């Protein structure tokens, strides 16, 4: 089994792992539909997320040709607008870019800053190239390189997305660590031979009793401390 000291490159999921996607969407929807109460906003956030999940799943299954997240988010924004009775084109257009303005978790910026001084660090996201660029800038996330699944016209957990990270890392997959708050994401990385670290977040997809990931951490500080103590 690969020890943590054998890790050469660290790869991070972004949405949910380093930024708080539900809170960011909630704030953007509240700005667009200020008259909505909390329950209504939560319903609209759920509608948005369900649309994104379904459409990415349809693309992975071959039921829809690939489109990037800017297209899917525009569809989700229109879905929210239709449900909320929102008709102003400018407001809907801004809402469509909500995924580019998500807040980082409290430990994300400092954790990446520490880690990038000692390891090559990659971001690996389903977000489009443009959305990922703007999200990174908004949240203050520091990378050596940020990879979008748009480069391979696929969505995680498709194997070619993880292979993109492995090829970029330029070392054997067992020396590449995938970090995520989503068990489904880590399963996809594991299937390509990458090492895996689950980081607990208030949102995400926690491991099941049958998941066997290499490491589990309560937050990014724990992960960074473990990597730097090797």
From the number of C-beta atoms within 10 Å of its C-beta (0-12, 13-18, 19+), residue 181 rates as buried
Whether residue 206 sits in one domain with residue 115? yes
Enclosing domain of residue 133: 4-20+102-228
Whether residue 16 sits in one domain with residue 47? no
Mapping DSSP to helix (H, G, I), strand (E, B) and coil, where does residue 191 land?
A: helix
- The single-letter DSSP state of residue 218 is S
Q: Name the nearest CA neighbour of 212 among 183, 174, 177, 180.
A: 183
- Residue 163's pLDDT is 98
Whether residue 86 sits in one domain with residue 158? no
Whether residue 154 sits in one domain with residue 91? no
Whether residue 45 sits in one domain with residue 114? no
Alpha helix positions (H), 68-219: 69-84, 89-95, 108-115, 129-139, 159-169, 183-191
- Residue 230's pLDDT is 67
**Cβ neighbour number for residue 22 with a 10 Å cutoff:** 16
Whether residue 30 sits in one domain with residue 117? no
- Residue 35's pLDDT is 85
- Residue 15's pLDDT is 97
Whether residue 209 sits in one domain with residue 112? yes
Q: For residue 156, which phi and psi values (nearest 5 degrees)?
A: -55, 145
Whether residue 189 sits in one domain with residue 162? yes
Residue 55: CATH number of its domain: 1.10.150
From the number of C-beta atoms within 10 Å of its C-beta (0-12, 13-18, 19+), residue 117 rates as exposed
Whether residue 16 sits in one domain with residue 29? no
Whether residue 176 sits in one domain with residue 218? yes
Please say which residue of 81, 100, 119 terminates a domain.
100
Whether residue 48 sits in one domain with residue 15? no
Overall number of domains in the chain: 2
Residue 169: CATH number of its domain: 3.40.50.1000
pLDDT in tens, the chain (230 residues): 568 889 999 999 999 999 999 999 999 999 999 988 999 999 999 999 999 999 999 999 999 999 999 999 999 999 999 999 999 999 999 999 999 999 999 999 999 999 999 999 999 999 999 999 999 999 999 999 999 999 999 999 999 999 999 999 999 999 999 999 999 999 999 999 999 999 999 998 999 999 999 999 999 999 999 999 86
Whether residue 109 sits in one domain with residue 65? no
| Residue recorded with tokens 């050596």 | 144
Structure tokens belonging to residue 91: 């407001």
- Residue 20's pLDDT is 97
Please say which residue of 48, 73, 100 terminates a domain.
100
- Residue 188's pLDDT is 98
Please say which residue of 77, 100, 123 terminates a domain.
100
């Amino acid at each position: 089994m690969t020890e943590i000291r054998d890790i050469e490159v660290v790869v991070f999921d972004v949405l949910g792992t380093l930024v708080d996607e539900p809170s960011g969407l909630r704030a953007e929807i509240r700005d667009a539909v200020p008259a909505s109460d909390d329950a209504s906003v939560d319903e609209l956030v759920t509608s948005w997320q369900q649309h994104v999940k379904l459409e990415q799943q349809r693309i992975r299954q071959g039921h829809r040709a690939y489109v990037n997240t800017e297209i899917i988010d525009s569809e989700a924004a229109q879905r929210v607008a239709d449900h909320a009775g929102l008709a102003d084109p400018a407001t809907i257009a801004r809402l469509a870019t909500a995924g580019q303005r998500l807040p980082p978790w409290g430990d994300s910026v400092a954790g990446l800053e520490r880690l990038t001084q000692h390891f090559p660090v990659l971001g690996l996201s389903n977000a489009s190239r443009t959305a990922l660029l703007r999200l990174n800038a908004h949240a203050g996330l520091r990378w050596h390189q940020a990879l979008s699944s748009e480069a391979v016209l696929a969505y995680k957990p498709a194997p070619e997305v993880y292979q993109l990270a492995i090829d970029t890392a330029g070392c054997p997959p067992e020396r590449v660590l995938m970090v995520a708050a989503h068990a489904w994401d880590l399963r996809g990385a594991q299937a390509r031979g990458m090492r895996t670290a689950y980081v607990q977040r208030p949102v995400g997809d926690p491991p099941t009793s049958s998941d066997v990931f290499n490491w589990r951490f309560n937050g990014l500080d724990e992960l960074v401390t473990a990597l730097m103590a090797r």
